[in-house]
Structure 1
Amino acid sequence: MDVRQLDRQALLLTGQLVSRVKPGHLTRATPCADWTLYGLLRHLVTQNQGFTASAHGAGQPWAVWRDGDLGEDPAGAYEASADEVTAAFAEDDVLERQFALPEVGEGFAVPGKTAIGFHLLDYVVHAWDIAVTIGAPWEPAAELTAAALRVAALVPDAGRGPGAPFRRRLVVPDDAPPTDRLLALLGRDPSWTPEPY
């Protein structure tokens, strides 16, 4: 399946969970240690805007990866940003364009197909972050989990840890479900639960 179709599935999966977020959820801690749920949703909007800019050759400035705004309607802000990035990814020759990803490193750029794979991975896993924070089910389709696993397996061990995009890999049993293996590859504990509220 085209990575763009899979990415759209990831955006829809995340959007379904964002739509279930209530105002009282926004201050909750998430599995992303540096972010409350509000901060995580702002990150998702910002990432969509950054990838949109990068698809158009304007992703190098740090500002485009930092200015996401949820306003008074986090779900609406998410949906608008998801529509923008989906339209950008649908453009002709986008899979061959170079995407600047300054969060990975200064001057770092990859072909669109690879960049969209990174985006897909981010949204599948952040969907879990939202789901487990608000007590909702997280059920990515098998082909989406498989695609995210392929990308996650390529994330190098170097540069992981506090302050980095990913934590160190965790070990799970060999017979663990694919979703648990995906989370563990990115340093997330599949058994994480939020503090009681």
Structure 2
Amino acid sequence: MTDPRDQMHRAADLAGVLVAAVPADALDRPTPCTEWDVRALLGHLVAVTARVAHIARGGSPSDLPTVLDAEPQGGFAAAYAAGVAGVRQAWADPAVLGATVHHPAGDMPGAAGATIYAQEFATHAVDLAVALDRTDLLDEEFLEQVLQIAVRFVPAERPGFPFGPPVPVAGDAPAHVRLSAWLGRSLPGRSLPAPAVEG
């Protein structure tokens, strides 16, 4: 099996490409993650890197914020890059994969936590790419892999999951569109009409 840390790091790096591509005048743009604009999403991504490293060391995610209150000194891109470096360091020992980590969804093996965070980093990379109109920066082949994991881990019926129901999209849509749709995000111009109800 593929080491889930590899996918988590690859997803974090992909998100980093988008974080670095955010122009200063785009911070107030909306994102497919409807509760956050670009500024808040950047603050969340930086916060997530700290939380991912923290749980690998035995900490609780509730010890740290889910989103930063303000832009960090030096900017979001530098803070995110430093955070990703911290994630790599914290997860370097393969023993963490079999250890119990405290994830926001509950206690689980580190391997499961890494898998979930790979999905989170990848999904937020897509959120930023759509908000910036820079989907050309996405790795569709990698996102196809993440989608297959998401389909296995996130059921279509999802009470208790932090996602809306799947959004119908064309089966031949790009992987980033289908990943977003599976996780309940409706991308502009990509969603299909809901099926007609007969009777």
The TM tier, using the shorter chain, reads: 0.7 to 0.9
Q: Which amino acid aligns with 2:87?
A: V
Question: Which residue number corresponds to residue 84 of structure 1?
Answer: 86
Looking at structure 1, the residues matched to 46 and 78 of structure 2 have their Cα atoms a distance apart, in angstroms, of 10
Question: Which residue number corresponds to residue 147 of structure 1?
Answer: 145
Residues 1-197 of structure 1 mapped to structure 2, 5 A cutoff: 1-60=2-61, 62-66=62-66, 68=68, 70-72=71-73, 73-102=75-104, 104=105, 108-136=106-134, 137-142=136-141, 144-153=142-151, 154-156=153-155, 157-159=157-159, 165-191=162-188
- After TM superposition, give the deviation of residue 17 of structure 1 in Å: 1.0
Under a length normalisation based on structure 1, what TM-score does the superposition of the two structures give? 0.84
Retained in 2: the 8 A contact 1:169–1:187? Answer: yes
Looking at structure 2, the residues matched to 190 and 30 of structure 1 have their Cα atoms a distance apart, in angstroms, of 9
- After TM superposition, give the deviation of residue 159 of structure 1 in Å: 2.8
- After TM superposition, give the deviation of residue 67 of structure 1 in Å: 6.1
Decide which structure has the larger Cα Rg and report it: 2
Q: Which amino acid aligns with 2:154?
A: V
Looking at structure 1, the residues matched to 40 and 67 of structure 2 have their Cα atoms a distance apart, in angstroms, of 12
Task: State the Cα RMSD in Å.
Answer: 2.1
Looking at structure 1, the residues matched to 17 and 139 of structure 2 have their Cα atoms a distance apart, in angstroms, of 11
Looking at structure 2, the residues matched to 57 and 190 of structure 1 have their Cα atoms a distance apart, in angstroms, of 37
Note the alpha carbon deviations across 1:163-197, whole angstroms, 9 max, x for none: x631211122333343322121101224369xxxx
Q: Which runs of 4+ in 1 moved over 4 A?
A: none
Larger helix percent = 2
Looking at structure 2, the residues matched to 39 and 189 of structure 1 have their Cα atoms a distance apart, in angstroms, of 19
Looking at structure 2, the residues matched to 134 and 175 of structure 1 have their Cα atoms a distance apart, in angstroms, of 23
Note the alpha carbon deviations across 1:117-153, whole angstroms, 9 max, x for none: 11111111111111111121242252x2233113311
Under a length normalisation based on structure 2, what TM-score does the superposition of the two structures give? 0.83
Looking at structure 1, the residues matched to 57 and 189 of structure 2 have their Cα atoms a distance apart, in angstroms, of 38
Helix, strand or coil at the partner of 2:101 = strand
Helix, strand or coil at the partner of 1:75 = helix
Question: Which residue number corresponds to residue 197 of structure 2?
Answer: none
Q: Figure out how many residues of one structure are paired with residues of the other and give that number.
A: 184
> Against the structure 1 CA distance between its residues 86 and 192, is the aligned structure 2 distance closer, same or farther, given a 3 Å change threshold?
farther
Q: Percent identity?
A: 29
Retained in 1: the 8 A contact 2:31–2:37? Answer: yes
Q: Structure 1 residues 42-51 or 62-71, which shifts more?
A: 62-71
Unaligned runs of 5+ in 2: 191-199
